C-alpha cells in the first residue's frame, strides 16, 4: 500500500476518533501537505502526533527517510514509540491496558476514550486532577484542552506549577507550554517544576538518574518516590512516611501527600 493510501485510510480513522483537527483543506490536499512536509503540516492537522518530537526521539526513523506518521502506523506503536511528548505509549499500556487494540494503533482508542472520560497519558499529566480545576467541554479531551492553551493557570500535575515555572524563565514565549518546555529542555537547565522539587538536587543526589539522562520529575513520580528518594534537600521521604503513617503507593508520592494534607 502506498504512503498516500495508508495515510488517507488512517486519516479517516483519526477524523472519526477526534485526532484530526478541524481543517477547511480538502482531504486530498491535507494528506499531500502532510506527506510533503510532516513537521509543518501536522501542527495544523494533528494535535496528538508530533512529527518533530517523533523524529528527534527516534533518529533511526529520520535516517531511514520514512514519513514519521507512516512509520508510527505501521510499526512504531507496536515498538512502544510515543507519538507526542505527553502521550507515552508505555504508560498507556501499563495504566490503561483496555486500550490495547489488536489490529490498530491504540492512539485512536485513547483519543476516543479520553473524549468521554479523563484518561491520563503521561506520568506528568493527571487528567482527573486537571479536569478538577476547571470544566472541560463535553465530548472533549482533557489533554487536548491543555495543549490548546485554554487551561490558563491550571496545573497538569500536583508537582508542576506553570506560573512558577514561567517565573524562572521570563523570556518563555506566551504560546509555549511550560510543561512541554520543561520536558524537552527545562530540566536540563535545572529549572524547577515546583518549589518543593529541586531538579538540580535530585540529579546530584541520584547520579544513576543523571547518568541515564532521565528527566527527574517523571522518574520521581514513577519510581523515585517508591524508592524513598528525596525530591529536595529539605524533604525526607522515608521520615515523612514514618511520621504520618503513609505507605507506599504508585498513585501518590509522599511529597504530593504532604501538599494535599498540609502535614
**Residue-wise pLDDT tens digits, 122-136:** 999 999 999 899 887
Based on the fold, state whether residues 170 and 247 are members of the same structural domain.
Answer: yes
Would you give the distance in Å from CA 93 to the centre of its chain? 14
Q: Is 153 exposed, middle or buried (0-12, 13-18, 19+ CB in 10 A)?
A: exposed
Percent of the chain with pLDDT over 70: 74
Domain count, the chain: 2
CA distance 119 to 106: 13
Q: Are 128 and 118 in contact (CB under 8 A)?
A: yes
pLDDT at 44: 45
pLDDT computed for residue 155 by the predictor: 96
Which of residues 136 and 31 earns the better pLDDT score? Answer: 136
Q: What are the DSSP calls for 94-134, one per residue?
A: HH-GGG--SSS-HHHHHHHHHTTS----BTTB-HHHHHHTS
**Which domain covers residue 46, as residue numbers?**
3-114
Q: Compute the average pLDDT of residues 32-44.
A: 55
Predicted confidence (pLDDT) at residue 25 exceeds the cutoff of 60: no
Last residue of a domain, one of 114, 148, 171: 114
pLDDT of residue 225: 96
> Is 152 domain-assigned?
no
Over the chain, what is the mean pLDDT? 83
Pick the range with the lowest mean pLDDT from 19-28, 158-167, 210-219.
19-28
> Which range has the worst mean pLDDT, 13-22, 123-132, 161-170, 183-192?
13-22
Q: What is the pLDDT of residue 142?
A: 86
106 & 184 share domain: no
Flag whether 62 is in a domain. Answer: yes
Please tell me the pTM assigned to this model: 0.83
Residue 21 covered by a domain:
yes
Which stretch of 43-57, 70-84, 160-174 has the lowest confidence by average pLDDT? 43-57
- Residue 145 located in a structural domain: no
Instruction: Out of 55, 83, 114, pick the residue that ends a domain.
Output: 114
List of long-range contacts for 243-251, beta carbons under 8 Å, 24+ apart? 250/222, 250/226
Q: Calculate mean pLDDT across residues 127-151.
A: 83
| Burial state string for 107-134 with b = 16 or more CB within 10 A and e = fewer than 16 | bbbbbbbbbeebbbbbbbbbbebbbeee
Q: Is residue 234 part of a domain?
A: yes
Q: What is the CB neighbour count within 10 angstroms for residue 71?
A: 20
Confidence band of 40 (pLDDT split at 50, 70, 90):
low
Residues 260, 253 contacting (CB under 8 angstroms): no
Residue 252 pLDDT: 94
Packing angle, helices 3-17 and 106-114, rounded to 10? 20
Check pLDDT > 70 for residue 104: no
Query: Do residues 207 and 188 touch, judged by C-beta distance below 8 A?
Result: no
Would you say residue 212 has pLDDT above 80? Answer: yes
Closest CA to 215 of 251, 191, 245: 191
Where does the pLDDT of residue 148 fall: very low under 50, low under 70, confident under 90, or very high at 90 and above? confident
**Residue 218 domain-assigned?**
yes
Residue 136 lies in a domain: no
Residue entry with cell 517565573: 167
Would you state the pLDDT for residue 170? Answer: 92
For residue 152, the model assigns a pLDDT of 83
Instruction: Looking at the structure, tell me whether residues 170 and 242 fall in a common domain.
Output: yes
Q: Which of 18-27, 70-79, 100-109, 205-214 has the highest mean pLDDT?
A: 205-214
Between 27-36 and 38-45, two packed helices, what is the crossing angle to 10 degrees? 140
3-state helix, strand, coil in the chain (%, to 5): 55, 5, 40
Amino acid at each position: 500500500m502506498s504512503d498516500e493510501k495508508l495515510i488517507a485510510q488512517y486519516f479517516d480513522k483519526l477524523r472519526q476518533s477526534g485526532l484530526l483537527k478541524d481543517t477547511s483543506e480538502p482531504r486530498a490536499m491535507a494528506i499531500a501537505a502532510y506527506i510533503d512536509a510532516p513537521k509543518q503540516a501536522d501542527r495544523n492537522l494533528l494535535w496528538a502526533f508530533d512529527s518533530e518530537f517523533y523524529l528527534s526521539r527516534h533518529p533511526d526513523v529520520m535516517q531511514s527517510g520514512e514519513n514519521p506518521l507512516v512509520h508510527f502506523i505501521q510499526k512504531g506503536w507496536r515498538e512502544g514509540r510515543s507519538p507526542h511528548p505527553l502521550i507515552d505509549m508505555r504508560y498507556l499500556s501499563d495504566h490503561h491496558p483496555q486500550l490495547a487494540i489488536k489490529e490498530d494503533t491504540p492512539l485512536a482508542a485513547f483519543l476516543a476514550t479520553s473524549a468521554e472520560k479523563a484518561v491520563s497519558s503521561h506520568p506528568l499529566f493527571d487528567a482527573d486532577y486537571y479536569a478538577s480545576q476547571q470544566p472541560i467541554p463535553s465530548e472533549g479531551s482533557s489533554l487536548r484542552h491543555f495543549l490548546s492553551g485554554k487551561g490558563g493557570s491550571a496545573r497538569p500535575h500536583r508537582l508542576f506549577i506553570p506560573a512558577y515555572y514561567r517565573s524562572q524563565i521570563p523570556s518563555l514565549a506566551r504560546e509555549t507550554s511550560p510543561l512541554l518546555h520543561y520536558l524537552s529542555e527545562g530540566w536540563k537547565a535545572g529549572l524547577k517544576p515546583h518549589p518543593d522539587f529541586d531538579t538540580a538536587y535530585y540529579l546530584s543526589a541520584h547520579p544513576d538518574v543523571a547518568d541515564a539522562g532521565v528527566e527527574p520529575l517523571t522518574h520521581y513520580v514513577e519510581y523515585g518516590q517508591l524508592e524513598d528518594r528525596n525530591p529536595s534537600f529539605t524533604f525526607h521521604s522515608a521520615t515523612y512516611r514514618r511520621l504520618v503513617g503513609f505507605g507506599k503507593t504508585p498513585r501518590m508520592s509522599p511529597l504530593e501527600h504532604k501538599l494535599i494534607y498540609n502535614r
